[in-house]
Amino acid sequence: MKANLTRRNFIATAGTAALAATTTSALTAEAPAPAASLKILGVACSPRKGMTTAKAVQAALDAAKAVSPRIQVELIDLGGLSIASWSPNIPRDDFDAILPKLRDPQLGGLILGSPSYFRSLSALCKAFIERCMPLREPTMVLANKPVGAVATGGNRNGGQELVIQQILTAMLSYGMVPVGGNSPAMLGGTLWSQQDSVAQDETGLKSAALLGAHVAEIALKLC
Ligand SMILES: Cc1cc2nc3c(=O)[nH]c(=O)nc-3n(C[C@H](O)[C@H](O)[C@H](O)COP(=O)(O)O)c2cc1C
């Protein structure tokens, strides 16, 4: 082989190799980096696992996922879990397993769901929000990520909108960006539970879906 390598074909071979290298690096430089996926985390804050609030949050997550292949979703159902409210002696309970999911750099946004309890958010929802305290210092981990809310109630006008406002107001303390639903679900998902089911509440389920889609759209813009 060496004997056959004349000056002329050496230059030609080297030139071809150089061109190939240039072309490869140019292609590499121009190829767009694959877009990172974003996780929308839904948190259902009813003490009753798998009931109407979990169904409502899942409806929102399903719509969020449909927005883009980049969107991943996960439901955390707090029903049956032990989560104490904040106290100076940090409780060791089921929140410990949830905290890393909230610190995940892939987290694109949150959808929090609560039943209306006496026109207010559930104690479990309040406890969850209080226990997110470690996400404020030393850095505001949740800052500039969208948060939306869904609320269920046994009455059509049972305080769902008040619950949503309470959740969104509280999450402002984490620097999150409160997001309502796409029109006409401007505030978020409001669902009416009848006989412990939201399956018949088409309007309510649609409001949850409109919220989920909007949270995903904003996450794609902000994160
Ligand atoms: C303590 C308590 C208070 C409630 N207060 C209200 C209320 O103010 N307005 C309302 O519409 N429903 C109220 N409900 C009904 C729940 O909001 C409703 O059943 C909801 O769908 C429960 O969510 P879950 O199925 O996820 O547990 C209350 C239920 C309980 C247990």
Can you give the pTM of this predicted structure?
0.87
- What is the whole-number distance in angstroms between the Cα of residue 204 and the centre of ligand 1? 15
- Work out the average pLDDT over 30-52: 91
Q: Which atom of ligand 1 is nearest to the CA of 156?
A: 11
Lowest mean pLDDT among 30-34, 145-149, 151-155, 164-168: 30-34
pLDDT higher than threshold 90 for residue 171: yes
pLDDT digits (tens, 9 = 90+) for 87-105: 999 899 999 999 999 999 9
Which residues, including other chains, have CB under 8 Å from residue 81's CB and lie 6 or more apart?
A: 93, 94
Lookup result for tokens 């994160």: 223
Mean residue pLDDT of the chain comes to 90
Predicted confidence band of residue 144 (pLDDT cuts 50, 70, 90): very high
The strand pairing partners of 190, in sequence order, are 151
Domains of the chain by start residue, with CATH: 38-222 (3.40.50.360)
Q: Which atom of ligand 1 is nearest to the CA of 159?
A: 9
Q: Are 47 and 124 in contact (CB under 8 A)?
A: yes
Tokens of 110: 């949150």
Of 187 and 20, more confident: 187
Antiparallel, parallel or unpaired: β 177-178 and 107-115:
unpaired
Residues with beta carbon inside 6 Å of ligand 1?
46, 48, 51-53, 115-119, 152-155, 158-159, 193, 196
pLDDT of residue 31: 73
pLDDT digits (tens, 9 = 90+) for 102-135: 999 999 999 999 999 999 999 999 999 999 999 9
pLDDT of residue 201: 98
Q: Which atom of ligand 1 is nearest to the CA of 44?
A: 26
Which residues, including other chains, have CB under 8 Å from residue 131's CB and lie 6 or more apart?
A: 83, 84, 85, 86, 91, 95, 99
